[in-house]
A and B are shown apart, each in its own frame.
Chain A
Amino acid sequence: MSIQICAILPTYKHVDELERIITRLRALKLDVIVVDDGNTQDVAGELFQICSRFEGVDLVRREQNGGKGAAVIEGMRRAVQLGFSHALQVDSDGQHDLASVTDMLALARQFPDALVTGKPFFDDSVPRGRLIGRWITHIWVSINTLSPRIIDTMCGFRVYPLAASLAASEGALMSKRMGFDTEIVVRLRWRGVDVKTLPVNVTYPVGNYSNFKLSENVGVSAMHARLFLGMLWRSPYLIWTRLQATDDTSTHWAKLGERGGALGLWILAGAFRLFGRHVSLALMTPVVLFFFLTGKTQRRASRDFLERLWRAGGLVTRPGWFMSFRHFMSFGAAALDKFAAWTGNIPAEDVDGVEPSVFDVVHSSGKGAFVLTAHLGNPEVIRAISTLKKRARVNVLVHTAHAVRFNALIQAYSAGSTVRMIEVTEVGPDTAIILQAAIADGEIVVIVGDRIPVSGTSRVCWANFFGSPAPFAQGPHILASILKCPVYLLFCVRFGARHKIFFEHFSDRINLPRKDREAAIQIYVERYAARLEHFVRLAPLQWFNFFDYWRPEGLEAPFEQAQSNSKSEMAS
C-alpha cells in the first residue's frame, strides 16, 4: 500500500527555529501542519506570517494551550481530514536532527503498520538530570508493555500511523503534555502495533529552552501509574501475544537464548547504580514475575530440578511454585551481583574464601591453570575481584555469543579489565594453540563444565547427578588433557549478604590414555558431577540451568530404567 505522509509541528513559544524546520521539510516535499498550541496573539501572528510564506503549510490554531499531546492529536485529526495516512512529528524547538527525516520516512514506508520512532543519541548539551529521568521512564515502559525491550519513548521525533494512533488515544485519558510521547507508545504497543527505531541525533539548542516543567514530573508519574493499571488490566492479552510470538518448543539451552538478557542487564545496571541492590531487586520483581509466568520451558525446568533435588534429600520440604519463583528471583539477584562485582561494588571483605586465591596458587606454581566452574552462583564475583585486584589475565571460554554481550557491559563500566572472553562452539587446533600459549604465560583458562556442546551431542558422558544420569560435556576434560596443566574447581555462591568462594584441586593433569580413553573421560566427568552436586546442595537456588538438564532435546538417555537406581552409569 502506498502511504501518504505529512509533517506535524506542534508549536508553543518556539518560533525561532520554525522557519528553518519548515524550509527543510518542504525541501523534502512534505506537506506541513503547524499546530499553534494556544500561543499569545503576538506569537500567533508571527506563526501566521511564517506559515503564509510557504506553500503546502497548513496552520491549525488552538485557542487554549493544551500541551504537546493535545496539539499532536489535533494535528493528526487535521492530517486525516487532508487525506494523509501517516504523520511525521517534529518538535519545533529544533532539537531533532532533520537529516534523519529521509531515513525515517523510508522506514515508515517499509513498515506501514508500525510506529517509527527516533532513538536519540544525545550530545553533550543535554541536561544531566534528564538522563536519569530517562532511565526511570525506560523501566516503567518496560514494565507497562510487559516487555524487556527498551523503547525510547521520550523522543518525539517519529512517524505515526494515523488510524492506529488516533484509535489508541481515543477515549483514553491521555497525557496532554510531555507525557504524551511515552503514553502513546505504550498504548500503541498494547494494540499490538510494532515499533521500529532509528538512531537520531538530539541536541538541546542553546538559545531555545525546552517546555519541560518540573511540575510535569508529577504528571508523568501519574501517567506511569495510570498505564501500570492499564497494563494489569490488559496483562492476560499482552502475555498471550508474547506467548504467541515466542516459540516455546526448543529446549536446548543454547537455543533458548537469553530472554531479554542484554537489555535486562542494562536496565539492572542503571537501576543498580542509581538505587542500589534492594531497590533494584524490588524493581525487578514484576519483571521476574513476568518471565516466570511466560517462560514455560524455564519454569518447568526449575520445577524438575527442585523436585529431583528434594527426592535426593537436598531440600527439607517438597518444593512448590513459590520455590520456583524464588529460584527465578535468585537468578535476577545473581545478575545484579554480576554487575556489582564488575563495577567494584562488592568489597573483598564481603567475600569469604578469597585466600588462598586460585590466582595466588596458580601464580606460585609458575604456570597457568585450567579452571572448571559451572552455572552455579556467581563465578563472575571471583573473576572480578581477582582480576581487578591482581591483574591476572583470565581467559573465559563461552559457548555462545551472549557472554560477549556481557563483555560490552563490563567494558562500559570497568575499563582495563583483564578478562578475555573466547567464544568456542567447538575447540579446534586454533583455540587449543591460543590456550596453550596462554597457559604457558601463566594465564588462567576458565570453562563451565555443566553444559553440553551446542553442536553434535556425541561428546557427552552420562554421570549420576542427584540420583539419575545427566549428560555432561566431555569437551572441558579433553581440552584440559590437551593443555597438560593442573585443573581446579571453582565456585562462588552467595549466603545471605556474603559471597563464598570454593576453590579446590581437581587434578594435577588430566590424562586420557589412548587405550582406555572413554573410560578415563567417564571417570573425570563423574568426579566433576559428584563435586558439582556437592556444591549445588549448598546453594540449590543458585543453580542457573533453566532447561531440561537431565533430558535435553536431541539426546537419548543411555538407559531409561536407570532413574531409580543410584549407581553411576557408564557411557554407551
Chain B
Amino acid sequence: MEGRVPKTLEDRIRTLIVETLNLEDIKPEDIGLDEALFGDGLGLDSIDALEIGVEIQKIFGVKIDTQDENLSSYFSSVRALAEFVGQRQEPQEQAS
C-alpha cells in the first residue's frame, strides 16, 4: 500500500515498531493490523515490548503502567495498540 507518508495512528505505530526494533527484513506495511505482535505472529518478545513501550511513551506521551493487568492485550496487535494510544491521548473524547 502507499505507506510513504504515515498518517493514521496505526501507520505511525507500525513505523515506530519497525524503526525502534531495527526490523531489517520487515516493512511497516507488512505488519497486519490484527497480526499478533508477540509469540506466533511477528515473534516479538518482552524486551521488544519494553522498547516499544518506551518509544510510545516518548512520542505519544501515553503513560504505560506495568502493573496494568490488561497490558498484554494493549500490546497484542497494531490495532489494539492504536486503540490504546488513541484512548489515552484523548480520554475526553472516548466514552470508556
Residues of A within 8 A of B (CB): 426-430, 432-433, 436, 478, 481-482, 512, 514, 517
Contact = CB atoms under 8 A, between A and B. Distances in A.
B45 interface: yes
Contact of B47 (A429, A430, A478): A478
Contacts of B23: 514
A7 to B, nearest CB: 50
Nearest to B47: A478
B51 A482 contact: yes
Interface stretch (B9-17, B27-35, B55-63, B88-96): B55-63
Interface string B44-55: 010110110110
A482 B45 contact: no
Interface of B: 21-23, 45, 47-48, 50-51, 53-54, 56-58, 63-66
A202 B81 CA distance: 59
Q: Which of A427, A428, A436, A517 has the most CB of B within 10 A?
A: A428
A433 B65 CA distance: 13
Nearest to A459: B46
A433 B58 contact: yes
Contacts of A478: 47, 50
B54 A436 contact: yes
Contacts of A432: 50, 53-54
Given A482-B50, A482-B51, A514-B21, A429 B45 contact: no
A122 B60 CA distance: 52
A428 B56 CA distance: 12
A429 B53 contact: yes
B66 A482 contact: no
B56 A429 contact: yes
What does DSSP make chain A's interface, helix, strand, loop or mixed? helix
Contact of B45 (A426, A427, A517): A517
Contacts of A482: 47, 50-51, 54
B21 A429 contact: no
A430 B64 contact: yes
A453 to B, nearest CB: 12
Nearest to A513: B22
A512 B47 contact: yes
Given A514-B21, A517-B45, A430 B51 contact: no
Nearest to B68: A428
Contacts of A514: 21-23, 45, 48
Nearest to B55: A429
B50 A427 contact: yes
3 closest Cβ pairs, A-B complex:
A428-B66, A429-B53, A429-B54
B57 A433 contact: yes
A342 B66 CA distance: 34
A387 B93 CA distance: 48
Nearest to B63: A430
A514 B38 CA distance: 13
Contacts of B56: 429
A428 B65 CA distance: 8
13 contacts: A426-B66, A427-B50, A428-B65, A428-B66, A429-B64, A429-B66, A430-B64, A430-B66, A432-B50, A433-B58, A436-B54, A482-B47, A482-B51
A426 B66 CA distance: 8
A428 B47 contact: no
Contacts of B50: 427-429, 432, 478, 482
Contacts of B58: 433
A426 B21 CA distance: 21
Contact of B64 (A427, A428, A436): A428
A421 B54 CA distance: 21
